[in-house]
Each structure stands twice: as C-alpha cells, then as structure tokens.
C-alpha cells in the first residue's frame, strides 16, 4: 500500500520557509492556531507538550497563562526551548525524555493533579532535517545517524551494517512501504561486506543503484523513513503514549496529536475511533452493545490539514494531520 499522504522524508527536499512568530528558525510549529483553539488553554490550566521541539506550541500555551510540562528526547531541542522560553519562569518545566515516559515524568516532578490537555507533534523537526550532522536528510551528506536521542539507541549506520538482510527488508517494507525492499536490502548486504556504510550519501547511492529515480521523489525516501522509524522505535513510542496518556488526563481535558505520515496517522485514527465509539457491533452479536473502552469524545471526525496560507509559507506543513479528542466527564461503566 502506498502512502496516503506525503512521507516525512519528502520534506528534506523542501526549504523550510519563513521563521515562526518569534523569529526562530529552529523549527516552525504546524497548525499553531488550530492546536491552540482546540486545546483551549487558560490561566491555571496544566498541559503536557510531549514533543517540545523548538518550543513554538509550548510558547503559545504559556502565553495564554497556562502551565506547561515539556518533554523532548532531543537535547538540542531542550536547549533551544530553555533559551527561547526562559521568560516564563516556573510556569514551564522541561524534562529530557520521550513522550512514552510521560507517566514517570509527571511522577518525577511530583505532579499529582491531572492534566488539562496534552499535545504530541510527531515526526522530525526542521532543525533535525536541516542539520547534516544529524543524518536524517538524504540530500545532506552527513553521518548515517538518525537518532533523536543520540545517547540511547543504535544509529542508522549500526542497523544498516549489522542487521540481517531479511530484517532490513522487513523494516523497509513495513515502515517505509518500499516495493523494492528485498532488492535494496540485498544490495546493502553485498556492499557492506566491502565497506561499511558511514554517511547518508553512502546509503542514498546504494538505494539509487537498485531503485533509480522515476519521479520527483528521491528513490531512497522510503528507506530513510523506515530506518528513522526503526532506530527511534517511533511507532512503538506512539502506541505506548496513547495507552498511557488517557490515565493522566482530567475529565474534559483534550489530547491533540499531529502526524506526518500515514503509518502514524493510522495508529492515532484507530485508537481515537476505538476509544470514542459509543456503540460497537459484531456479526455474531444479536444487537450492538455499548463500548466498554469508550473514554473520549471525538472532536475531529476527519483529520485537520494545514491551510493554504500556511502550506505556502511553510511547505513542510503540507503533510501534517491533526486529530483531537476530549476525555469524557464520566467514562462508560
């Protein structure tokens, strides 16, 4: 199955566009107005931003008078957020962590109250894509890294150079939906015996030798996406966070998730649907039954897209999909 919308790595061929409202070029937050309107921040409310990035969404939440606990596994993002948001003082608490660790983050901070809202902005930041040394962008020559937290996980080079060829093919097929997964994996296996892969250009050239460019998309796009997802366990982290976050939300709190490719969006779509349906039915049942897993009211029956003005000014926003739910005041018994 091909991607339902633009893969994240396509964005590395697109210039970032203008800086955000503060003049920061670190990362331009997508659908900023839509996110704030749906989360409805106000003084005294407490939010979790599980993917702080450059701090754009967090800044708007703080400007509303709310308090924010911000997480990001990228230490460079944490440094930028601390610099940019220092003026908000103790209304902002930043923790270097993956959003899948939200429960332990709150416990570590001694937070006992429930959250009034949470945001996950999944994917790669503009800074990560634009910094060759991070190894995310196939059109920028740099070390084959792709780790969002470079202190904890094997790099993309480690994976490419040591994983069995069959495992690489599975990664390319499942995480990149790459139709030539087996051929590309076999080519990598043959080449790495002579010379280990070290740079993004090494890998891009190997893929291109098997899958030459036939359209505007670089032939290595899906392979780079697949490796990044595997290296950072992105889909596993998203599933874990979705299961954990509802227990941290107060009744009436809202959870917003921005995704950038169909694999992520599918996970969020199904989770929100399964937890928001009032009635469920199965062929073997005589009649529909109330959904015992229902904990949300779905606010976005269809995902929201960035508007024309935003996609013109920030082309990387064109693949973004926003889905939002609200925790029910009383869950179904």
Q: What is the pLDDT of residues 107-141, one digit of tens each?
A: 999 999 999 999 999 977 777 777 788 888 888 89
The residues with which 327 forms a beta bridge, in sequence order, are 296
Average pLDDT on 78-106 reads: 95
Cβ-proximal residues to 107 (8 Å cutoff; 6+ apart), any chain: none
Coil, strand or helix at 244: helix
Number of H helices, E strands in the chain: 13, 10
Is 171:227 a contact under the CB 8 Å cutoff?
Answer: yes
Identify the pLDDT of residue 15. 42
pTM: 0.88
pLDDT at 314: 87
Instruction: Count CB-CB contacts under 10 A for residue 114.
Output: 15
pLDDT of residue 27: 65
CA–CA dist 190, 168 (Å, integer):
13
Looking at residue 10, its pLDDT comes to: 47
pLDDT tens-digit readout, 218-253 = 999 999 999 999 999 999 999 999 999 999 999 999
Model pLDDT for residues 42-61, shown as the tens digit of each residue: 999 999 999 998 899 999 99
Distance CA 280, CA 145 (A): 44
Distance CA 33, CA 60 (A): 9
pLDDT of residue 212: 77
**Mind listing the pLDDT tens digit for each residue in 185-218?**
999 999 999 999 999 999 999 999 998 777 778 9
Q: How far apart are CA 320 and CA 309, in angstroms?
A: 14
pLDDT at residue 9 in the model: 41
Reported as a single tens digit per residue, the pLDDT across 68-90 is: 999 999 888 899 999 999 999 99
Q: Evaluate if residue 2 carries a pLDDT over 70.
A: no
Output the DSSP codes for 158-208. Answer: HHHHHS-HHHHHHHHHHHH--TTHHHHHHHHHHHHHHS---BHHHHHHHHH
Could you tell me the domains of the chain? 8-126+234-327 (3.40.50.150), 154-231 (1.10.150.170)
Residue 138 pLDDT:
83
| SS3 category, 70 | strand
Residues 6+ apart with CB under 8 A from 18: 28, 313, 314
pLDDT value, residue 272: 98
Q: What integer pLDDT is reported at residue 26 of this predicted model?
A: 62
pLDDT digits (tens, 9 = 90+) for 146-199: 998 877 678 999 999 999 999 999 999 999 999 999 999 999 999 999 999 999
Most confidently predicted of 35-44, 129-138, 280-289: 35-44
Taking CA atoms, 312 is separated from 307, 315, 317, in Å, by: 9, 6, 9
Does residue 135 contact residue 146 with C-beta atoms inside 8 Å?
A: yes
Which residues on neighbouring strands pair with residue 326, listed in sequence order? 254, 297
E strands, the chain, are 46-49, 67-72, 92-96, 115-121, 249-259, 279-280, 289-290, 296-298, 304-305, 321-327
Assign 297 to helix, strand or coil.
strand
């Amino acid at each position: 199955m091909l991607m339902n919308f633009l893969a994240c790595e396509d964005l590395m061929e697109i210039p970032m566009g203008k800086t955000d409202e503060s003049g920061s070029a670190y990362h331009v937050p997508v659908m900023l107005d839509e996110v704030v309107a749906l989360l409805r921040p106000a003084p005294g409310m407490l939010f979790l931003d599980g993917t702080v990035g450059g701090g754009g969404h967090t800044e708007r939440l703080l400007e509303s008078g709310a308090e924010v606990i911000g997480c990001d596994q990228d230490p460079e993002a944490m440094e930028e957020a601390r610099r940019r948001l220092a003026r908000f003082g103790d209304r902002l608490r930043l923790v270097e962590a993956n959003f899948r660790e939200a429960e332990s983050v709150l416990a570590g901070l001694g937070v006992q109250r429930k959250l009034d809202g949470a945001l996950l902005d999944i994917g790669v930041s503009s800074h990560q894509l634009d910094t060759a040394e991070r190894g995310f962008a196939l059109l920028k020559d740099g070390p084959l890294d792709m780790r969002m937290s470079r202190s904890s996980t094997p790099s993309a080079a480690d994976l490419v150079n040591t994983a069995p060829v069959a495992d690489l093919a599975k990664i390319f097929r499942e995480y990149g939906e790459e139709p030539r997964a087996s051929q590309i994996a076999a080519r990598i296996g043959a080449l790495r015996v002579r010379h280990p892969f070290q740079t993004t250009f090494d890998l891009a050239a190997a893929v291109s030798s098997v899958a030459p460019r036939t359209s505007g998309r670089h032939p290595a796009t899906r392979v780079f996406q697949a490796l990044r997802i595997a290296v950072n366990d992105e889909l596993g982290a998203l599933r874990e966070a979705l299961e954990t976050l509802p227990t941290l939300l107060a009744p009436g709190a809202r959870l917003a998730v921005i995704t950038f490719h169909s694999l992520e969006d599918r996970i969020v779509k199904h989770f929100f649907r399964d937890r928001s349906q009032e009635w469920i039915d199965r062929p073997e049942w005589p009649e529909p039954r109330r959904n015992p897993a229902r904990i949300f009211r779905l606010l976005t029956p269809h995902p929201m897209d960035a508007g024309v003005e935003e996609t013109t000014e920030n082309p990387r926003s064109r693949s973004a999909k926003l889905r939002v739910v609200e925790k029910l005041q009383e869950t179904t018994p």
